[in-house]
Amino acid sequence: MFRIGYYREIIVKKAWFSVGQILFTLVVVAIAAFVLWRLVDYYMFAPWTRDGHVRADVVQVAPDVGGLIVKVNVVDNQPVSAGQVLFVIDQARYELSLRQAQATALQRHATLDQARREDARNRTLGDLVAREVTEESRSRVQTAEAALADADVAIDTARLNLQRTTVVSPVDGYLNDRAPRTGEYVTAGRSVLSVVDLHSFRVDGYFEETKLHGIDIGQPVDIKVMGEEKILRGHVQSIVAGIEDRDRVQGSNLLPNVNPAFSWVRLAQRIPVRIALDEVPADFRMIAGRTATVSVRDIAPLAKSNTAASGAAGGASGVVAASGASGASGASGASAAAPVSATSGVLPVSGTATASAPGATPGASQ
């Protein structure tokens, strides 16, 4: 009897041990499945991308007049403010042009005074002077006035050219790594240096088109710049409306030229999404061109509205079914009142679904 009880106890322990192994295996499999699902959801469907870059507007500075550079007030990569003098072009030639325009104006002013005196004398003489001579003198006055006005415009132009010999920064920002040097000759309209606009820094994230359903305007975004430990905060500012179609070009006769070779490997297009920066650490080094990882934090408001609308529609359908069942088993008066309550409950739900559907279609197509 003692041995029978001993063996029975061993059998029971082995059975419990086997059950424990099975449960442990099921728990491990469930955890692995959950982790695998989370990884697949994150890498395949979550709105994030490693293909992000810090961008900024670059303003190219070109002089409005040409000449030799006689003075440079900045160095490479220097921070500058709007209106700060960058360099000065030789002003001697433009000062001479201004003096010449002023002298021409004085000459034409004297010509105008002489014409006015002759015209006044002819008018005073009255009938003693032929009418043709009077008209000619009046015409010379008008011509002299127009010539003087043209001389005044020449003076303003010469003064403006002299003023434009001093080139200033158009925006607050940073110079590029190649500032001009004293003695270089610059021409009008040709860029000499560039300034990175300090107030235009942003992040452009290139998302796969399969992930656009989770992105909407105004969503909060986390930005991790490569080599930096701190996270930047921002929000979605805009989504591009179109990208280049590489399989179609414009033909010489203005007809579409479509590539006949079709690739069976279909890769998702990259759609640029502009991210406006909201929170930037004070010690963060903002450099245009740096690589960043962009992650959208919350579900898009459009997706939330669609989810809520579908949930409400499911609840309303249940209410309609319940109302129909109660109407079939109840009296005719109660059955007549049931459709009214069901209709009043369904209409707002269908209206919400209809309003959100047009918004969902463009988001998916983008």
Q: Is it the case that residue 339 has pLDDT exceeding 60?
A: no
Cβ atoms of residues 365 and 269 within 8 Å: no
Return the structure tokens found at 53: 């870059």
Cβ atoms of residues 300 and 214 within 8 Å: yes
The 3-state DSSP class for residue 192 equals: coil
More confident residue, 347 or 190: 190
Cβ atoms of residues 233 and 222 within 8 Å: yes
Cβ atoms of residues 38 and 57 within 8 Å: no
> What is the reported pLDDT for 161?
96
What is the arithmetic mean of pLDDT over 281-310?
A: 74
Q: Is it the case that residue 202 has pLDDT exceeding 60?
A: yes
Residue 6 lies in domain: 2-45
> What is the reported pLDDT for 321?
42
Start-to-end Cα distance in the chain = 79
CATH of the domain at 104: 2.40.50.100
> What is the reported pLDDT for 354?
35
Cβ atoms of residues 161 and 92 within 8 Å: no
204, β-bridge pairs: 53, 274
Q: Is it the case that residue 4 has pLDDT exceeding 60?
A: yes
| Residue 77 and residue 146 in one domain | yes
Across 72-81, 176-185, 351-360, least confident range: 351-360
DSSP 8-state code for residue 46: S
Across 64-73, 96-105, 118-127, 174-183, least confident range: 118-127
More confident residue, 87 or 122: 87
Residue appearing with tokens 């008018």: 123
For residue 71, name the pLDDT band (cuts at 50, 70, 90): very high
* Helix H or strand E segment including 22: helix 2-40
Q: Is it the case that residue 329 has pLDDT exceeding 50?
A: no
Return the structure tokens found at 275: 């991210």
Decide if 131 is inside a domain. yes
On average, the pLDDT of the chain sits at 79
- Give the Cα separation of 9 and 350 in Å (integer): 65
| Residue 87 and residue 157 in one domain | yes
Decide if 312 is inside a domain. yes
Cβ atoms of residues 211 and 97 within 8 Å: no
> What is the reported pLDDT for 264?
77
| Residue 72 and residue 30 in one domain | no
| Residue 126 and residue 30 in one domain | no
> What is the reported pLDDT for 2?
55
> What is the reported pLDDT for 166?
96
**Final residue of a structural domain among 177, 196, 215:** 196
For residue 138, name the pLDDT band (cuts at 50, 70, 90): confident
Decide if 234 is inside a domain. no
More confident residue, 37 or 321: 37
Amino acid at 182: T
92-125 vs 131-164: helix axis angle to the nearest 10? 160
| Residue 40 and residue 66 in one domain | no
Looking at the chain, how many residues does it have?
A: 366
Q: Give how many domains the chain has, as a whole number.
A: 3
Decide if 52 is inside a domain. no
Decide if 331 is inside a domain. yes
| Residue 192 and residue 116 in one domain | yes
| Residue 83 and residue 133 in one domain | yes
What is the arithmetic mean of pLDDT over 236-250?
A: 88
What is the arithmetic mean of pLDDT over 145-157?
A: 95
The 3-state DSSP class for residue 298 equals: coil
Decide if 335 is inside a domain. yes
Q: Is it the case that residue 248 has pLDDT exceeding 90?
A: no
Q: Is it the case that residue 22 has pLDDT exceeding 80?
A: yes
| Residue 85 and residue 169 in one domain | yes
> What is the reported pLDDT for 299?
57
What is the arithmetic mean of pLDDT over 205-211?
A: 91
Q: Is it the case that residue 160 has pLDDT exceeding 90?
A: yes
Q: Is the dihedral of CA 66, 67, 70, 75 positive or negative?
A: positive
> What is the reported pLDDT for 171?
95
